[in-house]
Amino acid sequence: MLWRNLAVAALLGALGVGVGTLVRNQIIAVTGLLIVSFALEPALAALVLDVARFGPTVGAPSGILGLDFDHGPDAAGLLAPGVAVAVSIAWAIAAFASGAALLRHRDLV
């Protein structure tokens, strides 16, 4: 379980750095991530659990850790740990790639 926690921390840290490259204001970046993780993803999980499993801050990390959503008997379940790691890496790469594209347009150099 320790290695899974370390993997989730590293992947969420990479996602945070990627979001930090996208949004230059730290307060807006942190507030946006908190809104996504505490409001948007749980609301999405209540509506469509099959899509919420692929979320960047709750869905995929829960699959890595093996923590089940509490959504009653018709819950679709979590992603397998290997797939959840791949989804988390994809979210981090998407954030980094978007940040790199914006950096090319924003900087003067």
* Predicted model pTM: 0.81
The pLDDT of residue 107 is above 70: no
Sorted by where each begins, the domain ranges of the chain are 2-106
Q: What is the pLDDT of residues 52-89, one digit of tens each?
A: 888 888 888 888 887 765 544 444 577 888 888 899 99
Q: Which amino acid is at 45?
A: A
The three-class DSSP label of residue 87 is helix
b/e per residue 49-63 (b: at least 16 CB within 10 A): beebbbbbbbbbbbb
Tens of pLDDT, residue by residue over 26-35, are 899 999 999 9
What's the rounded Cα separation, in Å, for the pair 37 and 47? 15
Give 13-29 pLDDT, tens digit per residue.
Answer: 999 999 998 888 889 99
Tell me which amino acid residue 8 is.
V
